[in-house]
A and B are shown apart, each in its own frame.
Chain A
């Protein structure tokens, strides 16, 4: 049986032996890969806390903010790339990683916000309010975090069943979040547009694919020709 549209892939779609490989081999590997950047940073923060070797440079808060933000946008884009790749490569198994990668994107966005509030602003609520309201790129970034929160909160199976068709509608907010994320990157450009072009371009392509697939029979045929 072949899945036609980007619906949920129920467990029954996969034979038992495939589930075993997935759950005991592939999923842990992806899980650990996504965790590695955070683990490196956590280790560096631990060393900073205990007065050990300085792995973060002379401006550690800025460095942490950049790293966590960069991984957040990368994983968010990766989660958006799952569906196109599933169809283009005819690999339904990819769907089994979408939730994990989406949750990791939220994890890194949360770390990014935490670093900003704690290490850059030192929990100075007056400053935080000012930054949020006066600096559009911060407002945008924070909005993306807020919009991602209900998605993370409804990512488990029971919520999917409970929400039914609305689950999918709700999770289309990911598209909005990715646009906000790309704008956030664009807005902090000083002179080099490399990151903005790269991430913004990927978001445009991934969203354009969805639009094309929805509206064009030709695209559907092409991606289903196998």
Chain B
């Protein structure tokens, strides 16, 4: 597996992983003593640099949620660290918390990068229900605690490549999607798994927009073998805290070898299907966005090249413009899933 480490980023721009780790062990100790500490001390101020918001619409570096379930905060704080080596731990420089949480595409809250962090301030994740349906033995409505409770949380540090040619490196906290899906006992007919985002026009203002061409809810899907792959997770936290609303609280898919739009947010429905499900961007622009959406520098998006990417945060005079890697650098792990497929047709 090719892992590129960049050294030319100014030190003032990044959160050194060591600082993040120190903070994390401090927090772990704190969480052990008192559960409340984990909820308080977390991330604000963790990301150094990248201040200033005179021009760029940015929310304060805080978690946008009306409330945080205490059990979830504790589980996130008690998670298992990403292993020192291997694909679960990208060695690239982490994108600071502030950038991960203020530069978002989440069209339910608006199309501007700052809209989600600005308009998701009071997003409610309590109560949260996920409907499990389709080709499985245990369909039904499950609470967030039903979904996440039985699992041990794991940290995964992944590259995330947006189809718009920018990328980040994010320390997620979540559970292997395979472990979750197996609990609902999908049957032999389940060839795909489809996901849907919450529809709530009161909380998600852009769902009311007359100018949006998206037919809500936002939909995404994976082939079963993709969903069961060890790299695929259901994320519920990032850095040291629960997911902020703008990043897809409380449940968000992360498939690191695919373009970011596959990583559907704020999931309320999971369906096991026989046939390939629709996905929102493919419905909107089939020529531009496929079902697979694997990161592939050789297949250009009609409106922008996919050969390179801007690794965020980038700067004007020392731009982090780096070559995009096949399957976002996870080729060794996932190329076999697509053996024999023409990836320029199945984009």
Query: Which A residues have a C-beta under 8 Å from some C-beta of B?
Result: 40-41, 44-45, 48-49, 51, 53-64, 67, 119, 122, 127, 130-131, 134-135, 137, 187-188, 190-194, 197
Q: In the complex, what residues of A have CB within 8 A of residue B86's CB?
A: none
B313 to A, closest residue via Cβ: A58
A60, A62, A119, A188: the one contacting B303 at CB < 8 Å is A188
A55, A119, A134: the one contacting B55 at CB < 8 Å is A55
- Given that A45-B316, A122-B321 are known contacts, is A57 also in contact with B56, CB under 8 Å in the complex? yes
- Given that A187-B303, A192-B111 are known contacts, is A51 also in contact with B55, CB under 8 Å in the complex? no
Q: In the complex, what residues of B have CB within 8 A of residue A58's CB?
A: 50, 95, 99, 102-103, 312-314
B51, B214, B321: the one contacting A53 at CB < 8 Å is B51
Q: In the complex, what residues of B have CB within 8 A of residue A64's CB?
A: 316
Q: In the assembled complex, how far is the CB of residue A183 from the closest CB belonging to chain B, in whole angstroms?
A: 13
- B211 with A48: CB separation less than 8 A: no
B285 to A, closest residue via Cβ: A190
- B316 with A197: CB separation less than 8 A: no
- A127 with B56: CB separation less than 8 A: no
B319 to A, closest residue via Cβ: A122
- B50 with A59: CB separation less than 8 A: no
Q: In the complex, what residues of A have CB within 8 A of residue B50's CB?
A: 54, 58
B213 to A, closest residue via Cβ: A191
- A2 CA / B278 CA spacing, docked (Å): 63
B312 to A, closest residue via Cβ: A58
Query: Which B residues have a C-beta under 8 Å from some C-beta of A?
Result: 10, 12, 49-56, 58, 95, 99, 102-103, 107, 111, 113-114, 166, 206, 209, 211-214, 284, 300, 302-305, 310, 312-317, 319, 321
Q: Is the interface of B mostly helix, strand, loop or mixed?
A: loop
A49 to B, closest residue via Cβ: B317
- A193 with B56: CB separation less than 8 A: no
A41, A54, A188: the one contacting B51 at CB < 8 Å is A54
- B113 with A57: CB separation less than 8 A: yes
Q: In the complex, what residues of B have CB within 8 A of residue A41's CB?
A: 55
A45, A57, A62, A194: the one contacting B209 at CB < 8 Å is A194
Q: In the assembled complex, how far is the CB of residue A14 from the closest CB belonging to chain B, in whole angstroms?
A: 39
Q: In the complex, what residues of B have CB within 8 A of residue A54's CB?
A: 49-52, 313, 315
- B107 with A192: CB separation less than 8 A: yes
- Given that A53-B51, A135-B304 are known contacts, is A191 also in contact with B103, CB under 8 Å in the complex? no
Q: In the complex, what residues of B have CB within 8 A of residue A59's CB?
A: 103, 113, 166, 310, 312-314
Q: In the complex, what residues of B have CB within 8 A of residue A127's CB?
A: 305
21 CB contacts below 8 A, A to B, read: A41-B55, A44-B55, A48-B316, A51-B10, A54-B52, A54-B313, A55-B53, A57-B99, A58-B99, A59-B103, A59-B113, A60-B315, A61-B316, A62-B166, A64-B316, A131-B305, A135-B303, A187-B303, A191-B111, A191-B284, A193-B213
Given A48-B317, A58-B95, A59-B166, 8 additional A-B pairs, CB 8 A? A40-B55, A54-B50, A55-B52, A56-B56, A58-B50, A58-B312, A64-B316, A192-B212
- B321 with A60: CB separation less than 8 A: no
A44 to B, closest residue via Cβ: B55
